[in-house]
Amino acid sequence: MSSCCCDLGSWIIQAERKVPTSGPTMISKRGVAVSHRFIAAVGLLLLVSQITNGERLPIKTYTTADGLAHNNVNRIVRDSRGFLWFCTFEGLSRFDGYAFTTYGAAQGLPSQVVNDLLETRDGQYWVATEAGVCRFNPKGRPWSVARGPSSTDQNNRPTTDYGPGTPDESTFTVYSPGEDAKSKQVTAVFQDRADVIWCGTAGGLYRLEEQDGRVVFRFVELGMPHEHEADKHVTCLIEDKRGALWIGAESGIYGLLPNGRAERYDDQHGLTHNFVQSLFEDRDGHLWVGTRHGGLTILINGTPGYQCVGSFRSMEEALAKIGRDVPLVDIGLPGMSGIEGIRILRERFPSVSLLVLSVYDDDNRVFEALCAGACGYLLKHTTPARLLESLKEAISGGAPMSPAVASRVLAIFREIRPPEHADYQLTAHEKRLLKLLVEGHNFKAIAPQFGVTVHTVAFHMQRIYEKLQVHSKSEAVAKALRDRIV
């Protein structure tokens, strides 16, 4: 578990003074349960406090005055013993619940700037710094720093706080993944399920291997561009549930799949910005991507069967590049509105499923979007799992809508009075088909009830569209309800 903060030092929230700060005892399975109950209690106390007296929970701030190495904290890591480690701009600090122990230049740290810390499953510590990656032994001798020009000929025993490390060994044994300056700037260190250690650097990705006691780094080719120096800068590492390693970089996202194949995703595949700062996989297996300037993106490409083929900042740009895919269209766009864009796309591709994904849920925009040819309307707080279900539903001929939107659509139709003469010369067969469509059935579900194929249903629906003078299923359903045809 890790997080980041800057400039304010490190802080924790305490519900009451008689509740002790989290220490090593909070990390066992039993301790975790206690910790969850404590968090729930804090929420309750906060709620009651706000209702009764409007009071806020006290915040305890830790800074350099309390022993923290520096007030700029890059990352916070908790180890298996419950200690908190703070990677700062001027060294590494350990917090035991009461006081800080700091490791810096005086202990042989090769660079003051510490970017990351990893505790491996066998108890070793690795520290990522701006001057290499270090095997870290908190019990080692200060100023006795083992160094090697390439790190491939350095023979060292594991040095850990709780393992075989001894005071006779070095505190920091420094390794450089590569020879160039960029590869010595180690930004992230990560261990996957196969116990492989990966080092992200400003010069790309390296795999750390130990062979006969020697530490060897293998450069991993990901197909990173070479146009700018920063293109190879790795910012974060994460492994998904399928065993794929995802690498965030300043030039996009790179996936190293279990079969050894590498993939790249950038602004040409749907990212709003190429500078990726953080990655997170949720419980549904969807990858969330935090970018520096482009906000948050859900990597649909991480879900089997789905691929995000493009992302556009305006309808004008989308209309010039979009094809027969499933567009997710926003409403409030600069230049041409999303609704006008939907009308044009519907004329160009009558059979394409068009979904609205917007923050707007007012009656006018919802109704105009559906009448323009959208087959569904989703709000932007839709969960990733529901979004993927809606895409599948739309492709199958359905009309997915967020619950709040669906209720408003029904309310709109109740208020609209049908014309006195709504005769579109539909046959009984066509009215029955239209009624099933209004009830939410897709073409695949309708076909068996008529004993025909899906293509035959689609053919009859085209006849219905012509008689109703509409261009999509959603328009046909809207007209059928508004004019009380069925």
User: Hey, where are the domains in the chain?
Assistant: 60-302, 325-414, 422-482
- The residue type found at 329 is V
**What's the confidence (pLDDT) of residue 423?**
66
Q: What is the mean pLDDT of residues 270-279?
A: 83
pLDDT of residue 387: 80
pLDDT band at 44 (very low <50, low <70, confident <90, very high): very low
Lowest mean pLDDT among 44-48, 193-197, 419-423: 44-48
pTM of structure: 0.55
365's CB contacts (< 8 A; 6+ apart) are 331, 339, 358
Q: What are phi and psi of 271, to 5 degrees?
A: -65, 140
Kindly report the CATH number that applies to the domain delimited by 325-414: 3.40.50.2300
Q: Which long-range contacts (CB under 8 A, 24 or more apart) does 374-382 make?
A: 374/329, 374/342, 374/472, 374/474, 375/399, 375/400, 375/472, 375/473, 375/474, 376/400, 376/401, 376/474, 377/401, 377/402, 377/405, 377/409, 378/402, 378/405, 379/404, 379/405, 382/357
Domain 422-482 has CATH 1.10.10.10: yes
User: What is the reported pLDDT for 29?
Assistant: 30
Residues 6+ apart with CB under 8 A from 138: 94, 101, 103, 125, 161, 165, 171
The side-by-side arrangement of strands in the sheet containing 296-299 is: 276-281, 287-291, 296-299
Among the residue ranges 35-49, 263-277, 388-402, the one predicted with the least confidence is 35-49
Is the pLDDT assigned to residue 25 strictly greater than 50? no
Task: Report pLDDT for 422.
Answer: 60
**pLDDT above 50 for 369:** yes
pLDDT at position 111 over 70: yes
Q: Please check whether residue 237 is in contact with residue 246, taking contact to mean a CB–CB distance below 8 angstroms.
A: yes
Residue 428: band (very low, low, confident or very high) from pLDDT cuts 50, 70, 90:
confident
Mean pLDDT of the region 417-445:
79
What is the C-alpha separation between 410 and 390, in angstroms, rounded?
19
Give me the chain's average pLDDT, please: 77
Instruction: Write the pLDDT tens digit of every residue in 237-258.
Output: 999 988 999 999 999 999 998 8
Phi-psi region at 50: left, alpha or beta (left = phi > 0; alpha = psi -120 to 50)? alpha
pLDDT at residue 2, as a whole number:
44
The tokens for 118 are: 């990893």
* Distance set, CA 389 to CA 98, 146, 223, 400 (Å): 49, 55, 32, 9
Superfamily for the 60-302 domain: YVTN repeat-like/Quinoprotein amine dehydrogenase (2.130.10.10)
Nearest to 367 by CA among 392, 401, 325: 401
CA distance 338 to 354: 11
Mean pLDDT value across residues 457-466: 88
Neighbours of 305 (CB within 10 A): 8
Which range among 38-42, 217-221, 415-419 shows the weakest confidence by mean pLDDT? Answer: 38-42
